[in-house]
Amino acid sequence: MEMNEKIVRDLKRKLEIELHKREAEVIDYWKKEVETLYRKKYESFASMQVEVKGLMERMSNRIAILQRTIKEG
Angle separating helix axes 45-72 and 2-39, nearest 10 degrees: 160
- 42 dihedral zone (left: phi>0; alpha: psi -120 to 50; beta): beta
CA distance 36 to 30: 10
Q: How large is the C-alpha radius of gyration of the chain? A: 19
Q: Whole-prediction pTM value? A: 0.75
Query: Per-residue pLDDT for the chain (73 aa), expressed as one digit of tens each?
Result: 577 998 999 999 999 999 999 999 999 999 999 999 999 999 999 999 999 999 999 999 999 999 999 999 8
